[in-house]
Amino acid sequence: MGHGPTPVHQNVSEHNQAIQWPLPQEFQGSGETCLRLGVLASGSGSNFEALAQACQSGQLAANVCQLVVNNPFCGARERAERLGIPCIVHDHRGFSSREALDQALIDSFRRAQVDLVVMAGWMRIVTERLIDAFPERLVNIHPSLLPSFRGARAIEQALSAGVRITGCTAHLVSLEVDTGPILVQAAVPVLDGDTPQTLAARIHRQEHKILPHAVQLAAHRLALLSP
Ligand code: GAR
């Protein structure tokens, strides 16, 4: 048994850089009910755009009907403008409580008649009010293999812990932060020399794949789409 450092295959192909479970199903054909999606985002919005693209390409029989952001200057808002998707800003600093912000989100999504709401990098703690308004219809994406590394800075937490495998999780939202029934996970290796940025980029690529799949699973659970 050698005691040297474990060899790490730095040149693994993108294909081998992640394991996703459950495996994606075949794309659904046309003729399905078209799901109306609402999306919440606070940051760059790459997951929001990946979801919108999955809808546009027909991978997901859905439409992103409404984006809500809490930061007027976030990248997600710019992406929405480019993609022609309606965007509302509910700046959290203008609300007296988390419940008041959540009520504004509920009102916006109800007006847009959305079936499911996706938290695609929504960096606000949600309250029971939002969860109760969309029971089993609230999906979150998180950059770790939950239940490990909940909360903010999950990627930095994984690097500090020295894990060799981390990943991302799409799940239904429960009251405690980053908990709830898991829909899809992808495992992503931590490579030698990774920084928060390089690891985040590798995780993001997997998030963009699992999020549309998770939305499809959430919709099937509720029989909003045909199986
Ligand atoms: C994503 O990595 C998402 O998992 C994370 O924010 C990022 C948003 O990126 N969410 C959380 O950490 C929630 N706890 P994006 O704005 O490019 O989609």
The one-letter amino acid code at 165 reads I
Closest C-alpha to 215, from 170, 167, 168: 170
What is the C-alpha to C-alpha distance for residues 161 and 148, in angstroms, rounded to an integer? 10
pLDDT band at 4; cut points 50, 70, 90: very low
Over range 95-107, report the average pLDDT: 98
Domain ranges of the chain: 33-226
- Polymer length in residues for the chain: 227
Over range 174-195, report the average pLDDT: 97
The one-letter amino acid code at 11 reads N
CA 2 to ligand 1 center in whole angstroms: 39
For the domain bounded by 33-226, which CATH number is listed?
3.40.50.170
Ligand 1 contact via 47 beta carbon (within 6 Å): yes
Residue 28 has which token pair?
A: 């659904």
Is 227 a residue whose pLDDT tops 70? Answer: no
What is the C-alpha to C-alpha distance for residues 75 and 210, in angstroms, rounded to an integer? 21
Is 71 a residue whose pLDDT tops 70? Answer: yes
CA 95 to ligand 1 center in whole angstroms: 23
Ligand 1 contact via 46 beta carbon (within 6 Å): yes
Atom number, ligand 1, closest to the C-alpha of residue 142: 4
pLDDT band at 27; cut points 50, 70, 90: low
Closest C-alpha to 101, from 74, 69, 141: 69
What b-and-e string marks burial along 193-212, b requiring 16 or more CB atoms within 10 Å of the CB?
ebeeeebbebbbbbbbbbbb
Residue 22 has which token pair?
A: 């459950």
Q: Report the nearest-CA residue for atom 3 of ligand 1.
A: 121
Atom number, ligand 1, closest to the C-alpha of residue 120: 18
Beta-bridged to residue 35, according to DSSP, are: 62
- pLDDT confidence of residue 1: 37
Q: Report the nearest-CA residue for atom 7 of ligand 1.
A: 121
Residue 143 has which token pair?
A: 């950059």
142 is catalytic: yes
Over range 27-51, report the average pLDDT: 85
CA 138 to ligand 1 center in whole angstroms: 15
**Active-site annotation holder among 90, 142, 171, 213:** 142
Ligand 1 contact via 207 beta carbon (within 6 Å): yes
Ligand 1 contact via 120 beta carbon (within 6 Å): yes
Beta-bridged to residue 140, according to DSSP, are: 119, 171
CB-based contacts of 74: which residues, under 8 Å, 6+ apart? 41, 42, 43, 44, 45
